[in-house]
């Protein structure tokens, strides 16, 4: 029995969210459109593992030692199907699954692509474009696979059954077996004049741009589903779905935290002391940031309702402006004199306190120049 936990790379005690996250990672890693057609079997194995571990009932059976994906499981774990045994001895009409031609039209597989958006698109939503390479409907034959609209004709070998019976010699004697007809590949019919564009498959490999609607508030790493935008099936069968993995590019000014945006502004020391208005570029246009008098390094000014849209609502988070105070490193003689006069007036009598273990000001709040001294030291 396959170890589905090992296939997805999770422990047996993994939560539903951990299993889902691991599946998304592995399905992207081994998807044939990304990793290459040689990984198709591995991709199917990953899907089989997730099909079992994501279903509570199937997972319970698997943990009990029964693989729900094993046909023998329905026979109580006996390891063989009596219908198959009788079918081998007495022909395909006795027991087992019914035999018949394989339909030419098959549903297509899902496809996977990714897009990268800027932070503004994540805030307000918008449209992105994904470039994908997959199977599309053959425009020459319209998906029929036949040239000039011809209809398939009955296979002369299997007479339309799609399979042929053969007598095989075994240790138990002669046994009747069935196998897909090689002439028609199990379809029961043949296309005498295949379409030269798709060689009778009804589909061709194409590259196309797909418009992707990005919902406002989307998170980095989110996956979107576009129904019927994936791979067209054999014989022009219904297309699978297209899954889009969304990544958000770093922004030069803002850092995202949930629905809030954080940024940092550097202001002169005088603005922090006296208060000032600073202009900030936001996704809603220029906004005024009110820096209060006595603002301290690291203080935060909150701009309400200018952050990221909350998914599924009209509400938005905030912009949190972190204030950095720029301390001058060089002063003119006049500036030095003014600062010294200010220090004599503002910090008078604090030298002894600065040398003690007590705080500079009762309550623990440092004076402006006491804080500057601490920063320089």
Using the predicted structure, report yes or no on whether residue 81 has a pLDDT greater than 80: no
* CB within 8 Å of 188: residues ≥ 6 apart: 100, 101, 102, 154, 155, 158, 160, 161, 162, 181
pLDDT at 353: 46
* CB within 8 Å of 298: residues ≥ 6 apart: 322, 323, 324
**Tens of pLDDT along 148-196?**
889 999 999 999 999 998 877 777 777 778 889 999 999 999 999 999 9
Binding positions for Zn(2+) are 138, 141, 155, 158, 181, 184, 195, 198
pLDDT at 350: 56
- Domain 1-80 bears CATH identifier 1.10.20.10: no
Beta bridge partners of 204: 136
pLDDT at 123: 98
Cβ(10)–Cβ(17) below 8 Å: no
* CB within 8 Å of 285: residues ≥ 6 apart: none
Beta bridge partners of 225: 243
**Tens of pLDDT along 93-144?**
433 344 689 999 999 999 999 999 999 999 999 999 999 999 999 999 999 9
- 229 versus 12: the higher-pLDDT residue is 229
pLDDT at 352: 52
Distance separating alpha carbons of residues 143 and 161, to the nearest angstrom: 23
Cβ(268)–Cβ(297) below 8 Å: no
Confidence of residue 74 (pLDDT cuts 50, 70, 90): very low
Confidence of residue 363 (pLDDT cuts 50, 70, 90): very low
Question: What CATH number does the domain located at 251-326 have?
Answer: 2.60.260.20
**Rounded mean pLDDT, 22-30:** 86
The lowest-confidence range among 76-80, 243-247, 306-310 is: 76-80
pLDDT at 79: 40
> In this structure, are strands 276-282 and 285-291 parallel, antiparallel, or unpaired?
antiparallel
pTM: predicted TM-score of the whole model, two decimal places: 0.66
pLDDT at 367: 41
One DSSP character per residue, 209-222 reads EEEEEEPTTPPTT-
Binding positions are 138, 141, 155, 158, 181, 184, 195, 198
Confidence of residue 41 (pLDDT cuts 50, 70, 90): confident
Q: Which two tokens stand for residue 42?
A: 């591995």
pLDDT at 131: 92
Distance separating alpha carbons of residues 47 and 7, to the nearest angstrom: 10
Which among 226, 198, 50 has a CA at the least distance from the CA of 127? 226
Q: Which residue has the tokens 């060689």?
A: 199
**Tens of pLDDT along 235-277?**
999 999 999 999 999 999 999 999 999 999 999 999 999 999 9
Q: What residue ranges of the chain are covered by domains with CATH 1.10.287.110?
A: 1-80
Confidence of residue 354 (pLDDT cuts 50, 70, 90): very low
Q: What residue ranges of the chain are covered by domains with CATH 2.60.260.20?
A: 251-326
One DSSP character per residue, 85-120 reads HHHHHH-TTSSSSPP-PPPS--PPPPEEEEEEE-HH
Cβ(122)–Cβ(257) below 8 Å: no
Cβ(198)–Cβ(145) below 8 Å: yes
Question: Which ranges of the chain does DSSP label H, i.e. alpha helix?
Answer: 4-8, 16-30, 32-35, 40-53, 56-63, 82-90, 119-124, 269-274, 333-346, 351-355, 368-376
Cβ(227)–Cβ(241) below 8 Å: yes
């Amino acid at each position: 029995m396959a170890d589905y936990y090992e296939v997805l790379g999770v422990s047996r005690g993994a939560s539903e969210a951990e299993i889902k996250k691991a599946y998304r990672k592995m399905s992207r890693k081994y998807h044939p459109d990304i990793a290459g057609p040689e990984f198709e079997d591995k991709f199917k194995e990953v899907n089989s593992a997730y099909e079992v571990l994501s279903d509570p009932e199937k997972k319970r059976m698997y943990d009990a030692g029964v693989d729900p994906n094993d046909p023998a499981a329905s026979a109580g774990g006996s390891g063989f199907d009596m219908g198959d045994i009788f079918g081998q001895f007495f022909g395909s009409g006795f027991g087992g699954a019914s035999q018949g031609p394989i339909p030419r039209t098959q549903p297509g597989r899902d496809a996977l692509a990714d897009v990268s958006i800027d932070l503004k698109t994540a805030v307000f939503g918008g449209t992105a474009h994904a470039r994908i390479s997959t199977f599309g409907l053959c425009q020459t034959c319209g998906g029929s696979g036949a040239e000039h609209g011809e209809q398939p004709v009955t296979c002369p070998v299997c007479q339309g059954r799609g399979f042929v019976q053969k007598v095989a010699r075994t240790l138990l004697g002669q046994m009747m077996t069935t196998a897909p007809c090689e002439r028609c590949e199990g379809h029961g019919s043949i296309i005498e004049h295949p379409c030269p564009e798709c060689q009778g498959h009804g589909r061709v490999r194409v590259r196309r741009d797909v418009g992707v609607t990005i919902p406002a508030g989307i998170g980095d790493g989110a996956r979107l589903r576009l129904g019927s935008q994936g791979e067209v099936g054999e014989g022009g069968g219904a297309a699978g779905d297209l899954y889009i993995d969304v990544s958000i590019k770093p922004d030069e000014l803002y850092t995202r935290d949930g629905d809030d945006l954080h940024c940092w502004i550097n202001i002169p020391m005088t603005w922090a002391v006296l208060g000032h208005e600073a202009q900030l570029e936001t996704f809603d246009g220029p906004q005024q940031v009110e820096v209060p008098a006595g603002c301290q390094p690291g203080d935060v000014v909150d701009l309400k309702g200018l952050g990221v849209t909350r998914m599924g609502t009209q509400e938005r988070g905030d912009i949190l402006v972190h204030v950095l105070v720029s301390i001058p490193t060089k002063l003119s003689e006049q500036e030095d004199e003014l600062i010294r006069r200010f220090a004599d007036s503002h910090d008078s009598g604090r030298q002894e306190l600065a040398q003690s273990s007590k705080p500079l000001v009762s309550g623990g709040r440092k004076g402006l120049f006491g804080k500057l001294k601490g920063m320089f030291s």
